[in-house]
Structure 1
Amino acid sequence: MRTTRRVAAALLVVAMVGLVLAASSSAAQERPRRREAACRTSVRGSHATADCFNPNPRTDRVQLHVECAHWWDPDMDTHPVEVGPAQYVQLAERCWKEIRKAWVSHR
């Protein structure tokens, strides 16, 4: 009779672990998607370009930021631009010399 209780307890633990794992995987699938435009940034010499497309039903505001490589070259930012649903925008900015880093922020 003791072994029956031990087997039942072990089966109960295994079933509970299975339920917890199933609940966590379904919760991971139900996470909301990010509502940002998809942007691709490219750098060629002293010019940076960002191509953004918004596949979402809500408007996104994008802004290109450029960090210049030299201390005397000022970092540059474009004005924020609204990208409506199913719209495409291209943002461009430049440094006098080389670019260290370029990225897009979303609001």
Structure 2
Amino acid sequence: MNLGIVAAFAYGILAIVGGVIGYIQARSRVSLLSGSISGLLLILAAYFQLQGQTWGAILAVLVTAVLVVFFAFRLAKTRNFMPAGLMAILGMLALAVMVNQFVALR
């Protein structure tokens, strides 16, 4: 198991937990749904990478990139570091690890 798979799995778990917290604190069904879907996609991408499917890495990079852009715009709009800033920074770190591992595998 390489570091890119771990990053995809960890960011997926973080997205799900963030969606649940958003639902609990603000009763935001959108947070729950989007966090769950994006988190599950990242966990599935990590699973398929473990199975040797290279498209799993591509899926993980795409989902993470979309989340980073979303949270960057959210941070710019709200100017609140929590949760948008934290998720954007952690997403950029996860994306850097994923891309590095993907390039190393090619």
TM-score (norm 1): 0.26
Counting strand residues as a fraction of each chain, which structure ranks higher?
Answer: 1
TM-score normalised per structure 2: 0.26
Query: Radius of gyration: which is bigger?
Result: 1
Q: Which has the higher helix share?
A: 2
Structure with larger RCO (C-alpha < 8 A, sep 6+): 2
